[in-house]
Structure 1
Amino acid sequence: MIEAIREELRQSADAKYKKFQESLVPGLTTMMGVRMPKLREMAKKIAKEDITEFWEKADDTCYEELMLKGIVIGYVKMDQEKQAQALEDFVPKINNWAICDCSCVTYKFMRKDTSYWFAFLERFLDSKHEFEIRFALVSMLNHFVTEEYIDRLLERLNHINSHAYYVQMAAAWAVSVCYIKFPEKTTLFLQTDTMDTFTHNKSIQKIRESYQVSKEEKDKLLKWKREESGK
């Protein structure tokens, strides 16, 4: 199975796409250049079979093979305990934003037992590792910006203690998604939050970049920007 997967990856590699993607993902040296739609197609096919061999033999240092592992979790049918075990194994191996974000969006199973999965993700928010925290934030912004979880999510965003760049950017992204769905609550949050200045201002910037926000709202949001010499 694993050799067939590798052969399919080799045949699907695109040198121009590889060069383009490497420009977007700093430090990426193990990419073959397979486009995301193809990887999702392959992951869905892998998920229909016994994934044991693939999981054990996939090369975690290869961008595409690690990406496949991440998105297969979202497609394969397995019980909640095994999903959690797979994530416990996968998440510490995430080493760039692309693998993190493309994987997280597939985890729609988290919406079926929100109490369990929100608690599962919260543990990663307390990690010392940049991409483990980003994994939690990106999963939350994809699956937990809901009436039930908006207050808890904003509260957690207010207490992110990492100044790692990809954590700060994910937190700002999460705040912007919260604003689109819950503008009043998020506006109040931005008036009193204790996020670091970079994340706070980046949150406002990302909200103002949205086509779903009116010019009037965008102008009002500028009131809450902080001086960079602040917090």
Structure 2
Amino acid sequence: MIERRRQLREKMEALAEPAFQQFSASLIPGVNRLLGVRLPVLRNLAREEVRGNWRELLEYPAREPYAEEVMLDGMLISLARMEPEERLEHVARFVPRMDNWAVCDTFCSGLKFSKKHPALVWEFIQPYLKSSRVYDVRFAVVMMLAHFITEDYVEQVLVLLDGVRHEDYYVNMAVAWAVSVCYVKFPGLTLEYLRNSSLPDFTYNKTLQKIIESLRVSREDKDLMRSMKRK
């Protein structure tokens, strides 16, 4: 491990909270290497590290990393100044490192350059939808959710979401989450889609559940969603 990596891990260990570690572990099943560093604290640390030689850190990822170390590398990719093409090269190297929903979703939400370069990013994420790997697919779905539920892209998003077929829970929950956000932002269009949707029953019903749970949906619309559940 390079010296800077060692120092960075020591900083993280000093910022860890045992009680928060236990709480986080309960939300991310199967992930054993968690320090318990809160996201705002981790982002502040990433902002400090990105002022230095961030490329060195990305070139030498931590061995047997804590989830927070992987998250911080993702934050560096989001925060560092670089051309969009280089950023996507780093994204492509980072995606295979994802092994839980928290790293995936934190990373996707941080890639705000997507708003400035939508066509480039849209093309980039397409192959991931066809992958057999869980977090490849979740990456593409959450990227659409975070950056492409817009007037220009929502119809294409719904078509692609309808075609996702994966047995994994975290993929299907991401699809349900994304369609529910489509409904919040574009209710008429998404309602028409839901009435003709070929989503698997589990994903379809989870979508309705998420719409019902939303604070941005009217009581009347929630009643409609309840009436549309599949048995």
| TM bracket, shorter-chain basis | over 0.9
RMSD over aligned CA atoms reads 1.1
Shift of 1:58: 2.6
Supply the distance in 1 between the matched residues of 2:50 and 2:196 (Cα, whole angstroms). Answer: 45
Match of 2:20 among 4, 10, 17: 17
Aligned to 1:165: 169
Contact kept, 8 Å, 2:24 with 2:36, in 1: the verdict is yes
Which of 31, 34, 38 in structure 2 is aligned with 1:35? 38
1:176 equivalent in structure 2: 180
Checking the alignment, whether the CA contact within 8 Å between 1:43 and 1:72 is kept in structure 2 is: yes
Q: Would the aligned equivalents of 1:144 and 1:150 in 2 still touch at CA under 8 Å?
A: yes
Paired with 1:187 and 1:163, the residues of 2 have a C-alpha distance of 25
TM-superposed deviation, 1:147: 0.2
Q: Deviations over 1:172-216 (max 9, x none)?
A: 000011011000000001000111000000000000100111110
Deviation at 1:52, TM superposition (A): 2.0
What is aligned with 2:52?
A: 49
In structure 1, give the amino acid aligned to 2:125: L
Give the total of aligned pairs.
Answer: 227
1:4 to 7, 32, 54: 7
The answer to whether the aligner puts 1:147 opposite 2:151 as a matched pair is yes
| Contact 2:141–2:175 under 8 Å retained in 1 | yes
Unaligned runs of 5+ in 2: none
Shift in Å, 1:153: 0.2
Q: How far apart are 1:56 and its partner, in Å? A: 2.3
Corresponding residue SS for 2:220: helix
Aligned-partner Cα distance in 2 for 1:223–1:122: 34
Native 8 Å contact 1:2 1:53 kept in 2? no
Structure 1, unmatched stretches of 5+, are none
Q: Could you report, residue by residue, the CA deviation over 1:53-90 in whole angstroms, capped at 9, with x for unpaired residues?
A: 21122316321111111121111111112111111111
For 1:33-60, what per-residue CA distance to the aligned partner results, in whole angstroms no more than 9, with x for missing partners?
Answer: 1111111111122222221221122316
Q: In the TM superposition, what whole-angstrom CA distance separates every residue of 1:146-174 from its partner, at most 9, and x where no partner exists? A: 00000000000110011210000000000
Identity %: 38
Instruction: Specify which of 152, 156, 159 is matched with residue 160 of structure 2.
Output: 156
- Using the TM superposition, give the Cα deviation of residue 103 of structure 1 relative to its aligned residue in structure 2, in angstroms: 1.0
Taking the aligned partners of 2:42 and 2:97, their CA distance within structure 1 comes to 18
Normalised by the length of structure 2, the TM-score is 0.95
**Which whole-Å CA distance do the structure 2 matches of 1:194 and 1:119 have between them?**
24
Counterpart mapping for 1:107-126 below 5 A: 107-126=111-130
